[in-house]
Amino acid sequence: MVQKCNVSELHQERLKFQPVLPAVLKKGVANVKPVLGKATKSVADFDKIKAIFEKTYGMPVVSFQAGKNAVAVKKAIKVGVVLSGGQAPGGHNVIFGLLEGLKSANKKNKLVGFLGGPSGILDNKTMEINDKVIANYKNTGGFDMIQSGRTKIETPEQFAQAKATILKNKMDALVFIGGDDSNTNAALLAEYLKKENANVCVIGVPKTIDGDLKNEHIEASFGFDTATKIYAELVGNIERDVNSARKYWHFIRLMGRSASHITLEVGFKVQPNVVLIGEEVLAKKMTLKQIVDNLANLVVKRSKIGKNYGVVLIPEGLIEFIPEMKSLIASLNDVIAENEKEINGFQTAIEKSKFIISKLPKNLATLMESLPMSISAQLMLDRDPHGNVQVSLIETEKLLIEMVSKKLKELKKAGKYKGKFSTINHFFGYEGRCGVPSNFDANYTYALGYNAAALVLNNMSGYLSSVKNLVKKSSEWKCGGIPLTMMMNIERRKGKEKPVIQKALVKLNGAPFKAFAKVRQDWAMNDRYMFPGPIQFFGPASVTDITTKTLQYEQKKK
3-class state of residue 61 by DSSP: coil
**Candidate residues 19, 34, 80, 86; the one interacting with ligand FBP per rule CB under 6 A:** 86
Q: Which is nearer to ligand FBP, 293 or 384 (CB)?
A: 384
Residue 317 class from Cβ within 10 Å (0-12 exposed, 13-18 middle, 19+ buried)? Answer: buried
Q: Residue 179 interacts with ligand FBP (CB under 6 A)?
A: yes
Q: With CB under 6 A as the contact rule, which of the stretches 34-42, 90-98, 134-142, 249-257 interacts with ligand FBP?
A: 249-257
Q: What is the dihedral of CA 40, 64, 220, 180, to 10 degrees?
A: -50
Q: Residue 394 interacts with ligand FBP (CB under 6 A)?
A: no
Please give the single-letter amino acid code of residue 156: P
**Candidate residues 171, 190, 209, 506; the one interacting with ligand FBP per rule CB under 6 A:** 209
253-292 residues in contact with ligand FBP (CB under 6 A) are 255-257
289-318 residues in contact with ligand FBP (CB under 6 A) are 316
Q: With CB under 6 A as the contact rule, which of the stretches 45-53, 202-210, 229-237, 245-253 interacts with ligand FBP?
A: 202-210
**Candidate residues 140, 165, 183, 208; the one interacting with ligand FBP per rule CB under 6 A:** 208
| Sheet strands (E) in 194-309 | 201-206, 249-254, 274-275
Q: What is the DSSP pairing of strand 463-468 with strand 478-483?
A: antiparallel
Q: Min. distance of Cβ 47 from ligand FBP in angstroms?
A: 28
User: What's the CA gap between 70 and 179, in Å, rounded?
Assistant: 32
Catalytic residue among 144, 172, 210, 441: 210
Contact 149, 113 (CB under 8 A): no
415-454 residues in contact with ligand FBP (CB under 6 A) are 433
Q: Which DSSP state fits 535?
A: -
3-class state of residue 307 by DSSP: coil
H/E segment holding residue 177? strand 173-178
Number of residues in contact with ligand FBP under rule CB under 6 A: 16
What value, to the nearest 5°, has the Cα angle with vertex 545 and ends 543 and 550? 95
Q: Min. distance of Cβ 179 from ligand FBP in angstroms?
A: 3
Q: Which is nearer to ligand FBP, 117 or 499 (CB)?
A: 117
| Distance between start and end Cα atoms, the chain | 47
Closest CA to 85 of 302, 388, 355: 388
Q: Residue 203 interacts with ligand FBP (CB under 6 A)?
A: no
**Candidate residues 294, 297, 327, 392; the one interacting with ligand FBP per rule CB under 6 A:** 392
Q: With CB under 6 A as the contact rule, which of the stretches 83-91, 292-300, 417-425, 505-513 interacts with ligand FBP?
A: 83-91
Please confirm, yes or no, whether 181 is among the known catalytic residues: no
Q: Min. distance of Cβ 503 from ligand FBP in angstroms?
A: 9
In whole angstroms, how large is the CA radius of gyration of the chain? 24
3-class state of residue 283 by DSSP: helix
Active site residues: 210
Interface with ligand FBP (CB under 6 A): 85-86, 88, 150, 179, 208-210, 255-257, 316, 384, 391-392, 433
